[in-house]
Amino acid sequence: MREQLREVLAPFKGERGAVIPILQKAQDELGYLPEEAIKEIARFLRTSESELYGIATFYAQFRFTSPGEHALKVCLGTACHVRGGARILDTVERELEVEPGETTSDYKFSLERVACFGCCALAPVIVVDKTVYSKMTPSKVTQVLDSYR
Amino acid sequence: MMDIAKLTIDGKEVEVERGATVLDAAAKADIYIPTLCYHPDLTPFGACRLCLVEIENMRGFPPSCTTPATDGMVVRTSTEQLQGLRQGIMQFILTEHPHPCLTCHRLEHCKPFDICLRHVAVTERCVLCPKNERCELQQVARYLKLSEITLPYESRELPIERGDPFFDRDYNLCILCGRCVRICQEVRGLGVIAFTFRGHQALPGTAFGRSLKDSDCHFCGACVDVCPTGALIERAGRWYTLPEREVVTTCPYCGVGCQLKLEIKDERIIRVIPQRDNSPNWGQACVKGKFGLDFVHSPERLTSPLIKENGQFREATWDEAMDIVTGKLSQYQRGTEFAAISSAKGTNEENYLVQKLARAVMGTNHIDHCARL
Amino acid sequence: MTFAEIRERAVAEWEVMERSGKPRILVGAATCGRSAGALDVLQTINAELAKRNLDATVIQVGCIGLCYIEPIVEIAKPDRPRIFYSGVNADIAVQLIEDYLVNDNPRPDLALGALGEGSLDGVPQLFDLPMLQPQVRVTLRNCGFIDPEDTNHYVVRGGYSGLARALQMTPEQVIEEMKKSGLRGRGGAGFPTGTKWEFCHRAVGTPKYLICNADEGDPGAFMDRSVLEGDPHAVLEGMLIAAYAIGASEGYIYCRAEYPLALERLDIALRQMKELGLLGDNILGSDFSFHIKVKEGAGAFVCGEETALMASIEGKRGMPRPRPPFPAQSGLWGKPTNINNVETLANVSAILERGGDWYAGYGTEKSKGTKTFALAGKVTRTGLIEVPMGIPLRQIIYDIGGGIVGDKAFKAVQTGGPSGGCLATDLLDISVDYESLTAAGSIMGSGGMIVLDEESCVVDVARYFLDFTQKESCGKCVPCRVGTKQMLDILTRITRGQGQPGDMDLLLSLGQTVNQGSLCALGGTAPNPVLTTIRYFRHEYEAHINQKRCPALVCLDLITFYILPDKCQACMICQRSCPVDAIKGGKKLIHVIDQSKCVKCATCYEVCPERFSAIVKVSGETIEVPEEPIPLGAEE
C-alpha cells in the first residue's frame, strides 16, 4: 500500500490545499481509506491523523471500509422522492439486507443514497456502477439486482 | 482608518481599539453577553449563537464574538426578542445535554450541592456531574432563566472514554463548542482532537476513534481547562467540586516557571489550572504541571534533608546538611574527582551557578543535567 | 493569437464543414440523454454509418432541455432545415439513416421539429413547440447546438467576443456594464453581480481570486450541470471577464464530483483555451493573465455556501464561518475573493457580447434578464428551461410544462430546493422574480422547480427537505445542527400518525429560531419548506395530526392496502409479485393482505389488472374484509 500511496502523493508535493484531491486519488487507488492510508497521508501533509480523519469524515464521498463489487446508488433527489424513491430504497434495503453506507456480507454490493443525479426527468432512478436505471419500480429493482448476482 | 472605535452598547458609550469585537467592547462596558464557544485565547468560532446581538443597520442578529466593533455602531444586547432567541437556542443546546436540574421548578429551593430525592433521574442530575457549579452551561441557563424545555433530551448513549491517563472524556456532555479542538490546534499546534463527521453526528474526536494515547496526545490538559462542561474532566479530584481556596504558584518542575493556580480543598491540591493572565505560560502548562503535582501529598516525599549515619538516615536541618557538603567538597581533587549533575527543576540562574561552581571552584567540565525528567 | 485570428480560423473551419456537403448528426448526449440511452443510439449510428460506408459528421452535443423525450437526435443535411427527432432508440436510429440519409425521406412522422430555413410538411418549427416557444435562451444559448468539445463551434456563435470587448474596456467600465445589465447572482441569493465585483475590485490585496461555484447541490436542480456539459466555454469566458473586472489572477472551479461528464468537458475546454492563448499569461495579447484550476467536490451540500466552499478548497472541513470579513475582503487564503455561480457566469459572457442594455430588456424592474429552471416532478414535460424573469408561474407549469401528468390536479410547486418553499394553487399567477417569490415565503433559489400533484403529500415533502438539510448540516452552529433535527423528528412523528396538537405551533417557533439563529444560509433557510407548507396547506397537517390521515395517500404509516373481496378474481398476480409474501390466497381463493406483513410497497396495487381494480389504498378508514382467503364467489 505504501508503494501505491507514494505514487498517488508524489505529484502533490508542495501543493497548497491538496488534502481533498489527495484523499480522492488515494480512494480511487485503494477503493477506500484504511487506517494506514490516513497515517501515510497525514505524514506526507505534516498534519495530524485526527484532523485528516476529521476532514475525510466530513465529506460523504470517503469510505473507511472496503466497498463491494458493485456500487449501488439510489437517488433520493426531490423528483425521485415525489415519484417514489423511498420505496425503491426500501426494496433495495430489503433485498440486500443492508442500509445505506453498508456493504452486503458477500461484498457484492455497496449501497449508498444519493441526493440527485440530475436525471430528474427519468425519476426514480438507481445507478449501478455507472449504469443508470430509470423509472424504477420495486419489481424492476429486483430484476436489476438479480442481473448482477 | 481610525485606531479607536466609539460605539454605543445598550445606551452606554464605550471606546475600543481597532480589531476589537463587539463582545470585547461589551466586556469593557461591563455588559454581560452569554457565550459558550467563545474563549479569549482562541479565534472566534461563532457556533453557539448565544452572543447574538442587534446592531443598527445590520441585517439579522450578528454574533458579537465575530463582529468587529466599528465607529458609531449602536448595539443592543438584551432586547426581549434577543432573550427569546437565546432561550430558543439554549433549548436546542440542552437537547444534547442532560438538563432537568437546570430547568427544575424547584431550582430556587435547591442549594447547589443538595441531593435531589425527586423530580430528576439520577443519571441526569447536575450534582452527579464532576463539573457541577463550575459548569458554564449552568451559568448561562441561570442567566437566561430557562423554565421549561419542550423538546426531548436525547442522550448520545456513548461510553465514557476512560482509557487514557489523567482525564476522562464523556461526549454525552459535549455541546460541540469546539474549544478543545481549537486549543489543541491553534494554541498547542497538535490537532490531536478534531471535529469528526458532520451534522448531528459531528463530535470532537480522534482518527478512527482511537484513544488519545494512540493519537500523539501530549496530555497537556489544555482541552480539559477550556471545556465549558463536564465532557472533559481531570480524573484525580473529580469529585471534590469547588475548592476552598486557591494558591497561585510557580510550577516546581522546570526552569520555565509556569504560573499555576492550585485549587485546594481539605489542604489537598484538587486541581491545577494554569494562570491565564501571566507570562510565561499564558494559560498553558505541560503534562507535569497540569497532572503531575499530586506528588506533594505522597507520604514518601522528602520534606527535609536526610543525613546517613551508620547506614541509617536521620532528619537534619538545611544548615547542618550544607555544612557537611561544603566541608567535604574541599577534600576532593580539582578536576578529577568531582562531577556535577543539576536538576531541571532549578531555574536557569540556579543551573548557571551549579556549572560556575563546577568549573570555577571545582575545576571540572563534568557537568550534566537531568533534562530527561 | 489575437481574437480576430481565432475567430477567422473558427469561421473558416466551420465553413469547410458546411461546404463539405456532408450530413451532420448531432446526438444529445449530456448526462440526462445518456441515462435515456443516448450512448446506445450514438453507437448504433456510428456502426450503421460504417456498415453502409456513409460519410457523415457525428457530434455529441449537450442537452436542449427536452429531457422528457430524450434521447434527441438532430440531422442536418445541406439545403434542408435541421430536423430534430425525439425518443430515438437504436431501432429508430437505423431507420433514420436508412430513410433520411440514404433515401432522403425526412420521416416527418418521427420528427419533433425543424430549425432553419425551409419547412417540412407536418413538422413544426422547433421553437414553435409549446415547451420552447415561451423560452428566451441566454444561458442555454448554445446547449444542444454546438460541440462542447470544440472551441470553434463556440467562437462561430459569437463566443469570446464578449471577452475581446471587455479587454478593450477598463475594469470599471466592465463593472458598469454589469450593473447596467441588472444581473443578480443566479446561485440563489440574488445579490447584484456588478456590485459584488465592485467590492472585490476595490479590495486591497494580491493575488485576488475568482471562484466559479459549480457545486450544484439542490436536489432536483441540474441547470449548472447542463451548461457545463453543453457549453463550458460560456462559463469560462464569463470567468475571464469577471477576473479581468475584479483584477483576479487565479481562478478555481469548484465542481461536484457527481458530475463526471461536466468535469471532463471542463478539462478539455481548459486545454483548448491554453492552446489558443485564451488562458494563461497575456490573454489575447493583452496584459491580463489568468489561470484556472478545477477542484472536485467531495460530497457536501454545504460547500455551495461561499465560506464553506473556500474552506473546502483550502483543504479543510467545509464549515461556514461568520461574515464579516466578507470574501471580497478576506476570502480564499485570506485574499480578496469573488465567487459567482455557473449560470451567472454564463450570463456574463452573453452580456459582454451583446450589452447590458440588451440583457436588461428582459425581466422585471428589479429582476432583470432570464432564469433557467429544472422543471421536474409531476409535470408532463420535464426538462431544463430558460424564461424571462417575471413570467407567470402558471405559464411555466401549463404552457411550457404541459400541465400535470395524467390529468391529476395541481397541488403545489416547490421552488428553491431545500431553501425554498411550496407555493399553492392560488399563487399560480405569481410573477417569477426574486421579490415575488420571497414575498410568497419561497425563494428563487438556484432554479429547481418541482411540481407536486394531488398524489404528493406536502407534509412528506417538507419532511423530505428537512431530512436532507439535517443530513447536510455541517454541525457547527447549534440552531442548524439541533434545530433541523428536532424539526425533522416532529415531522417524522406527524407523518407516522403520532402528531400532537400544538405540533404546528412548535414547528413555527422552532423554525423561527433556526432561521434567525443560524450561522449560514443553509440553516437560515432550512425551515422554509416547513413554514410555507404550514402556511399554505394547514389543513393537510391537520389531517395528519388530528385524523391520522394522509389525504394524498403517501405517508406509509397512515395508509392501508385492501383487496376488495367482491372484486378480486383470484388471479394470483398480486400474490406472486408481493415481495414479502404478505398476500394469502390461492387458486379460486379470494386474496387477503396480511397487514402485519405488508410493507406498503404498492406492488400489488400496481399489478392488479385494471379490469379488476380489486386493490384499494385508503387512509384514515378501515375496510371490512375477510381475515382469511375465502372461496371465489362465496362473497355473494
- Looking at A58, A79, A105, the residue that finishes a domain is A58
For the ranges B368-372, C244-248, C376-380, the maximum mean pLDDT occurs at: C244-248
C70: which residues sit within 8 A by CB, 6+ positions away?
A121, C28, C32, C33, C36, C38, C63, C86, C87
- pLDDT, tens digit, for every residue of B245-284? 999 999 988 888 899 999 999 999 999 999 999 899 999 9
Q: Is B13 helix (H, G, I), strand (E, B) or coil?
A: strand
CATH of C372-456, one of 3.40.50.410, 3.10.28.10, 2.60.40.1080, 3.10.20.600: 3.10.20.600
Residues of chain C with CATH 3.40.30.10: 12-127
C118 touching chain A per CB within 8 A: no
CB of C86 closer than 8 Å to CB of C112: yes
Query: What percent helix, strand, coil does chain A show, rounded to 5?
Result: 50, 15, 35
CA dist A19 and C632 (Å) reads 68
Helix (H) or strand (E) segment spanning residue C560? strand C559-563
- pLDDT, tens digit, for every residue of A36-86? 999 999 999 999 999 999 999 999 999 999 999 999 999 988 888 888 898
Tell whether A141 and A100 lie within a shared domain: yes
Q: Is C454 helix (H, G, I), strand (E, B) or coil?
A: coil
Please report the pLDDT score of residue C635 as a whole number: 54
Q: Is B196 left (phi over 0), alpha (psi -120 to 50) or beta?
A: beta
Chain C residues in contact with A77 by the CB 8 A cut-off are 219-220
Adjacent-strand bridge partners of A114: A75
Chain A residues in contact with B208 by the CB 8 A cut-off are 35, 38, 53, 64
CA dist B372 and B188 (Å) reads 21
Question: Crossing angle for the helix pair C260-276 and C232-246, nearest 10 degrees?
Answer: 60
Q: If we measure between CA atoms, which residue out of C192, C135, C153 comes closest to residue C348?
A: C192
Q: For residue B307, what is the DSSP state? A: E
pLDDT for residue B97 is more than 70: yes
Local confidence band at B80 (pLDDT 50, 70, 90 cut-offs): very high
Please report the pLDDT score of residue B47 as a whole number: 96
Please report the pLDDT score of residue B146 as a whole number: 86
pLDDT for residue B229 is more than 90: yes
Strands B4-9 and B74-76: parallel
Buried b vs exposed e over C570-605: b needs ≥16 C-beta within 10 Å?
bbebbbebbbeebbbbeeebbbbbeeeebbbbbbbb
CA dist C459 and C541 (Å) reads 7
Local confidence band at C81 (pLDDT 50, 70, 90 cut-offs): very high
Q: Which three cell numbers stand for residue C466?
A: 428537512
Place of cell 430513410: C99
A64 touching chain C per CB within 8 A: no
Q: Which residue is closest to C488 within chain B, CA to CA?
A: B200
Tell whether A74 and A140 lie within a shared domain: yes
Q: Which three cell numbers stand for residue C72?
A: 434527441
Strands C370-377 and C448-453: parallel
Alpha helices (H) along chain B: 22-28, 80-94, 100-103, 136-144, 179-182, 222-226, 287-291, 318-329, 348-356
- Looking at A58, A85, A105, the residue that finishes a domain is A58
Of the candidates A50, A57, A58, which has its C-beta nearest B191's C-beta?
Answer: A50
CATH classification of the domain holding A15: 1.10.10
- pLDDT, tens digit, for every residue of C111-161? 999 998 888 888 999 999 999 999 999 999 999 999 999 999 999 999 999
Judged by CB atoms closer than 8 Å, whether chains meet at A54 and B195 is answered as yes
pLDDT for residue C559 is more than 80: yes
Please report the pLDDT score of residue B106 as a whole number: 77
Subunits close to A (at least 3 CB pairs below 8 A): B, C
CB of C277 closer than 8 Å to CB of C235: no
Chain A residues in contact with C222 by the CB 8 A cut-off are 116, 118, 120
Please report the pLDDT score of residue A77 as a whole number: 86
For chain A, how big is the Rg over CA atoms in Å?
18
| Cis status, amide bond into B228, omega within 30 of 0 | no
Residues of chain C with CATH 3.30.70.20: 556-619
Q: Which residue is closest to B203 within chain C, CA to CA?
A: C475
pLDDT for residue B13 is more than 60: yes
- Please report, rounded to a whole number, the percentage of residues in chain B having pLDDT higher than 70: 98
- pLDDT, tens digit, for every residue of C42-56? 999 999 999 999 999
CATH of C556-619, one of 3.30.1050.10, 3.60.20.10, 3.30.70.20, 3.50.50.60: 3.30.70.20
Mean of the per-residue pLDDT values for chain C? 94
- pLDDT, tens digit, for every residue of B312-365? 999 999 999 999 998 998 888 888 899 999 888 888 888 899 999 999 999 999
Q: For residue B243, what is the DSSP state? A: -
Domain count, chain A: 2
End-to-end CA distance of chain A: 30
Tell whether A76 and A142 lie within a shared domain: yes
Q: If we measure between CA atoms, which residue out of B285, B226, B294, B302 comes closest to residue B40?
A: B226
DSSP state letters, C589-626? EEEEE-TTT-----HHHHHS-TTT--EEEEES------
Buried b vs exposed e over C158-171: b needs ≥16 C-beta within 10 Å?
ebbbbbbbbbebeb
Question: Crossing angle for the helix pair C161-168 and C3-19, nearest 10 degrees?
Answer: 160
Q: Residue A98 belongs to what domain range?
A: 70-148
CATH classification of the domain holding A111: 3.40.30.10
- Report yes or no on A64 lying in a domain: no
Instruction: Tell which B residues from 90 to 119 touch C, by Cβ distance under 8 Å.
Output: 91-93, 95-96
pLDDT for residue A92 is more than 90: yes
Q: Which residue is closest to B205 within chain A, CA to CA?
A: A50
A146: which residues sit within 8 A by CB, 6+ positions away?
none
Fold of C12-127: Glutaredoxin (3.40.30)
Please report the pLDDT score of residue B77 as a whole number: 97
pLDDT for residue A3 is more than 90: no
Average pLDDT rounded to a whole number, residues C29-39: 89
Q: Which CATH architecture has domain B167-234?
A: 2-Layer Sandwich (3.30)
Tell whether A89 and A120 lie within a shared domain: yes
C505: which residues sit within 8 A by CB, 6+ positions away?
none
Q: What residue ranges in C378-453 does DSSP mark as E strands?
A: 383-388, 410-415, 421-424, 448-453
- pLDDT, tens digit, for every residue of C155-214? 999 999 999 999 999 999 999 999 999 999 998 889 999 999 999 999 999 999 999 999
Judged by CB atoms closer than 8 Å, whether chains meet at A78 and C456 is answered as no
- Report yes or no on A63 lying in a domain: no
Q: Is C120 helix (H, G, I), strand (E, B) or coil?
A: strand
C318 touching chain A per CB within 8 A: yes
Please report the pLDDT score of residue A115 as a whole number: 77
CA dist C177 and C175 (Å) reads 5
Its ipTM equals 0.92
CA dist C613 and C603 (Å) reads 13
Chain A residues in contact with B207 by the CB 8 A cut-off are 35, 38, 42, 48-50, 52-53
Helix (H) or strand (E) segment spanning residue A27? helix A19-30
Tell whether A51 and A106 lie within a shared domain: no
pLDDT for residue C41 is more than 70: yes
- Report yes or no on A65 lying in a domain: no
Q: Which residue is closest to A52 within chain B, CA to CA?
A: B207
CA dist C249 and C242 (Å) reads 11
Buried b vs exposed e over C10-32: b needs ≥16 C-beta within 10 Å?
beeebeebeeeeebbbbbbbbbb
Please report the pLDDT score of residue C86 as a whole number: 95
Q: Which three cell numbers stand for residue A17?
A: 490545499
Judged by CB atoms closer than 8 Å, whether chains meet at A24 and C32 is answered as no
* Alpha-carbon distance values, C490 to C422, C483, C496 (Å): 19, 11, 10
Adjacent-strand bridge partners of C214: C255
**C314 to chain B, closest Cα gap in Å:** 16
- pLDDT, tens digit, for every residue of C582-625? 999 989 999 999 999 999 989 999 999 999 999 999 999 999 99
- pLDDT, tens digit, for every residue of C511-553? 999 999 999 999 999 999 999 999 999 999 999 999 999 999 9
CB of B34 closer than 8 Å to CB of B144: yes
* Alpha-carbon distance values, C422 to B188, C110, C438, C452 (Å): 49, 38, 12, 9
CA dist C283 and C265 (Å) reads 21
- pLDDT, tens digit, for every residue of B112-152? 777 776 667 777 888 889 999 999 999 999 899 887 788 99
Buried b vs exposed e over B213-242: b needs ≥16 C-beta within 10 Å?
eebebebbbbbbbbbbbbbbbbeebbebbe
C452 touching chain A per CB within 8 A: yes
**B284 to chain A, closest Cα gap in Å:** 20
Amino acid symbol at C50: A
Q: Which CATH architecture has domain C160-360?
A: 3-Layer(aba) Sandwich (3.40)
Judged by CB atoms closer than 8 Å, whether chains meet at C383 and A134 is answered as no
Tell whether A81 and A135 lie within a shared domain: yes
Which CATH number describes the domain made up of C459-546?
1.20.1440.230
Domain B245-297 CATH superfamily = ADC-like domains (2.20.25.90)
A115 touching chain C per CB within 8 A: yes
Please report the pLDDT score of residue B110 as a whole number: 77
Judged by CB atoms closer than 8 Å, whether chains meet at C475 and B95 is answered as no
Local confidence band at B372 (pLDDT 50, 70, 90 cut-offs): low
For the question of whether the overall pTM of this predicted structure is more than 0.90, the answer is: yes
Which CATH number describes the domain made up of B4-78?
3.10.20.740
Q: If we measure between CA atoms, which residue out of C283, C68, C268 comes closest to residue C148?
A: C268
**A2 to chain C, closest Cα gap in Å:** 22
Local confidence band at C347 (pLDDT 50, 70, 90 cut-offs): very high
Of the candidates A18, A79, A142, which has its C-beta nearest C315's C-beta?
Answer: A18
Judged by CB atoms closer than 8 Å, whether chains meet at B68 and C472 is answered as no
Please report the pLDDT score of residue A11 as a whole number: 93
**B48 to chain A, closest Cα gap in Å:** 20
Q: For chain B, what are the domain ranges?
A: 4-78, 84-144, 167-234, 245-297, 306-369
- Looking at A32, A58, A84, the residue that finishes a domain is A58
CB of A73 closer than 8 Å to CB of A61: no
